[in-house]
Amino acid sequence: MNLTDTAGLEKELLERFLRYAKIFTTSDDHVDKVPSTPGQWDLLKLLERELTGLGVADINLTENGYLIGRIPAGGPPKKGVPVIGLMAHVDTSEEAPGENVNPQIHPNYGGGIIQLKEGYSLDPAKIPHLASYKGKTIITSDGTTLLGADDKAGLAIIMTAVHMLIKHPEYPHCPLEIIFNADEETARGTKYFPKDQVKASFVYTLDGDREGSLEAECFNAHKAVV
């Protein structure tokens, strides 16, 4: 893998995302345990195997579905460099069907309406920022399920970055902690969070807004039913 090989990185990123999106990881708000569904374990264990296959030696998967992997700093040695965490969650929302996800790839998007099944569509007149992706590849569900980009896109981005950094130990970066958790959608994702195992001074969650955005607030999904 070459750091300037953007086509290769994009190809790997797409393959990873499609692989993760097809795993049924819908969480269940009515189950009082973490992870709340067996499919989340399936994805966590797949990620554990992939991290091992990439050469990450320091990995721990806790009994409550927190997967932590550590990567030493790269490039010339430096003292006093903080550990940075990259985090994403494996579960998907139960607000829409999440089983048998059939991702649709729309290369070289022309800027028009993207028609899906069940009468659904993505219309740039209603979703203005779609226009900014003209000429790029867009991935959608087929309309019968959710896609699961929340947050399997984050998983795919982090795992692709891990691969790149391990292949290029000369590339300067601080020590990293890779943290994947279950049940973010049920608000139980931090219930058993192993704070004593986390060494990171700062953690960035790759789960959110439009491309290039950065939020400086913490979303915890707590709710109240009145």
Q: Residue for token digits 């070289």?
A: 108
The secondary structure of residue 197, as a DSSP letter, is G
The secondary structure of residue 82, as a DSSP letter, is P
Q: Please, how many CA atoms are within 13 Å of residue 198, restricted to the half-sphere of its CB?
A: 19
- 221 phi-psi bin (left φ>0, alpha ψ -120 to 50, beta other): left
Give catalytic residue positions.
91, 184
CA distances to 83, 185, 189 from 219, in Å: 22, 11, 11
- Reported in sequence order, the residue ranges of the chain that DSSP labels E, i.e. its strands, are 58-61, 67-71, 84-89, 104-106, 114-115, 121-122, 138-140, 176-181, 202-205
Return the HEC string of 1-36. Answer: CCCCCHHHHHHHHHHHHHHHHCCCCECCCCCCCCCC
Count of CB atoms situated within 10 Å of the CB of 151: 26
User: What angle, rounded to 10 degrees, do the helices at 149-167 and 38-54 form?
Assistant: 10
Angle at CA of residue 17, ends 3 and 102, nearest 5°: 150
